Amino acid sequence: MSHSTKTLVKRTILVTGGRIALLALWFAAITMVYRQLGLQPNGLAQAGVLAFSLATIKMFTIALGDPLDMDVVRRVPPILNGDPQEAVAIWRAAQQIRIGLAICLISLGAIFARPLAELFLDGKQWSFAVFMAAVAASFELLYRGYLSDLQSRERFDRFLWLEACLQGVRLLAISGLWLSGGLNVKSFLIAYALSTFLVTIGAFAVSGNARRQLLIFCARTSRQTWQYVRWIAPAMILGAAVERFDLFMLSAIKGPDEGGLYGALIPLIMVPEVVIAFSINVLQPRISDLSAQGALLHFWASILKLTVPLALAGAIIAYFFAETIISLSIGPSYLASAPAFRLLFVAVMIWFAVVPVPMSYVVMTQPQTTLAITLVQAVVMLVVGWLAIPSYGAFGAALAVLLTRSIAAALICGFAYYLLKSPASKQETNPT
Residue 71's Cα: distance from chain center in Å? 17
What would the DSSP string read from start to end of 384-399? HHHHHHHHHTHHHHHH
Q: For position 428, what pLDDT does the model report? A: 43
In angstroms, the Cα distances linking 277 to 152, 231, 257, 408, 422 are: 15, 21, 29, 17, 27
Q: For position 100, what pLDDT does the model report? A: 93
In whole angstroms, what is the distance from residue 418 CA to residue 393 CA? Answer: 38
What are the extents of the domains in the chain?
3-422
Q: For residue 71, how many C-alpha atoms fall within 13 Å in the half-sphere facing its CB?
A: 29
Q: For position 75, what pLDDT does the model report? A: 84
Q: Which residues of the chain are modeled with pLDDT < 50?
A: 426-432
Q: For position 286, what pLDDT does the model report? A: 65
In whole angstroms, what is the distance from residue 208 CA to residue 160 CA? Answer: 18
Name the residue among 217, 276, 265 with its Cα closest to residue 409: 276
Q: For position 278, what pLDDT does the model report? A: 60
Q: Are 150 and 162 in contact (CB under 8 A)?
A: yes
Q: Which residues touch 14 (CB under 8 Å, ≥6 apart)? A: none
Q: For position 5, what pLDDT does the model report? A: 57
In whole angstroms, what is the distance from residue 82 CA to residue 62 CA? Answer: 30
- Residue 217's region, left for phi above 0, alpha for psi from -120 to 50, else beta, is beta
Q: For position 431, what pLDDT does the model report? A: 42
